[in-house]
Amino acid sequence: MRITPEKMNKLDGKVCFICGRYLLNWTDNDLAYLKVHTGTKAKASPDMYHLFACPSCGKIAHKRCWYDIGEKKIKRGWFKKPDWRLTCPSCGTALAPETSERVDWESGYELPSHPDSEVYELHTPDVIAWKAGSAIGKIGRAIGGVFQAVGLGSVTDPERSEIARAAQRVGKTIQDVAERVFRLKPTPAERSQMKELKCQNCGAPLPLPGSLDDAVVCPHCGTAHLL
């Protein structure tokens, strides 16, 4: 299933649970190859890569990471060829029957029982176009002169850790946090006088931050607010 630029907001800021890279980033190793019956190698055109979500736990990773880490070799003894089994590294669920052969990546590898037609397909020109079009949103724009809206993918690692802790305090995970994050930069005096906060996305009341907290997450819609 091809992911168009209009749908890429849902992947913004989300990371591959296997390698830790952003899902909207790729390397040459991630790029897909076609199955060519003559035995030659042919990279797909335009350049594209795939993402696959575990049907059991829902965690998403680059298809290349599933190839490198998710599919395990099962040894059958000294004189027998090994079998292969696709297993989720997160929840341990077996995602396909064991197979005796495995196609090499550059020979057009597909996940066993999960062909490319059923996984997420991203064309790199589409991703580049989306990143260019969302640059203004990632830099941030003023919201009522108080908050700034930024993309989750643009926050720093310490800010992301603060958001993850804030999400945990309301029973959520970083995967539940919305793509758009609001940033407020109050002075120490303004912060000490905070009596209530409202979500800048849905208007629901926000939990007041503790003295050492730098983020809160809306328990209703999952929108993060950096302080």
CB atoms within 10 A of CB 89: 15
Q: What is each CA distance from 58 to 138, 144, 166, 169, 210, in whole angstroms?
A: 26, 36, 22, 22, 32
pLDDT in tens, 2-19: 998 878 878 877 889 999
Over 50: is that where the pLDDT of 137 sits?
A: no
Q: Looking at residue 87, what is its pLDDT?
A: 94
Domain map of the chain by residue range?
Answer: 5-130, 136-226
Percent of the chain scored above 70 by pLDDT? 91
pLDDT reported for residue 132 = 64
Encode pLDDT of 80-136 as tens digits. Answer: 777 899 999 999 999 999 988 888 999 999 999 999 999 999 999 988 877 765 543
- pLDDT of the residue at 6: 74
The model carries a pTM of: 0.59
| pLDDT tier for residue 147 given thresholds of 50, 70 and 90 | low
Q: Do the Cβ atoms of 75 and 83 come closer than 8 Å?
A: no
Residue the block writes with tokens 């309301």: 170
Averaged pLDDT of the chain: 84
Tokens 């209009």 -> residue: 6
Neighbours of 202 (CB within 10 A): 12
Q: Flag whether pLDDT at 142 surpasses 70.
A: no
Residue 146: predicted pLDDT = 53
Of 31-45, 85-99, 134-148, which range is least confident? 134-148
Give the C-alpha distances (Å, rounded to integers) separating 104 from 32, 67, 168: 11, 9, 40
**144: pLDDT confidence band, cut at 50, 70 and 90?**
very low
